[in-house]
């Protein structure tokens, strides 16, 4: 198995072509990831257990960064050169649970860049079933290198700033 510089599994050659929607898709201002609710995601009452929404949103954030090139490619190499051993940590999260999801529901996790500061990125995330918003969250992730908060490398800053500009310009995500 091939690993990137942070020790994470890198995409294998041909993986994106073989599974084009596995990591979701980039949309104006961010990212959209489709997923299905499985039995293991639900509690005894048959609805999605609240903590699993956090997992769904983590997948959305991870795949968003993957498709921006953080896990591979020139963007990753440039970020690694500026901040060896970098990773992101959730600094804060505000979450609003509005409606439940149930087994076999097909959901979309939408992640939009809201703001890029010195060492953090603020993302607006929502979990939707069709047009219905089930959960919304505002998530601030900090960029950390060698155990300390660090300014986000320029390559990553440019990529996320472009998306944040689209969101600020009130461009709605396309489905």
Catalytic site residues? 43
- Phi and psi angles of residue 110, each rounded to the nearest 5 degrees, phi first: -105, 130
**Token pair for residue 81?**
């050169």
Vertex 66: Cα angle to 63 and 68 (nearest 5) = 110
Residue whose entry in the numeric block shows the structure tokens 């076999």: 104
Residue whose entry in the numeric block shows the structure tokens 């929502």: 126
Rounded Cα gap, residues 34 and 29, in angstroms: 17
Rounded Cα gap, residues 109 and 111, in angstroms: 7
Rounded Cα gap, residues 31 and 66, in angstroms: 10
């Amino acid at each position: 198995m091939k690993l990137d510089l942070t020790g994470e599994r890198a995409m294998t050659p041909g993986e994106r072509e073989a599974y084009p929607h596995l990591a979701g898709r980039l949309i104006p201002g961010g990212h959209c990831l489709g997923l299905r609710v499985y039995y293991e995601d639900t509690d005894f009452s048959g609805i999605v257990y609240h903590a699993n929404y956090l997992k769904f949103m983590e997948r959305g954030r991870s795949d968003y960064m993957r498709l921006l090139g953080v896990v591979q490619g020139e963007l990753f190499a440039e970020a690694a050169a500026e901040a060896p051993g970098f990773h992101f940590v959730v600094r804060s999260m505000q979450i609003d649970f509005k409606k439940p999801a149930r087994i076999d529901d097909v959901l979309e996790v939408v992640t939009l860049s809201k703001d890029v500061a010195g060492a953090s990125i603020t993302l607006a995330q929502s979990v939707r079933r069709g047009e219905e918003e089930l959960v919304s969250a505002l998530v601030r992730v900090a960029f950390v290198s060698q155990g300390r908060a660090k300014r986000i490398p320029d390559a990553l800053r440019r990529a996320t700033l472009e998306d944040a500009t689209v969101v600020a310009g009130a461009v709605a995500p396309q489905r």
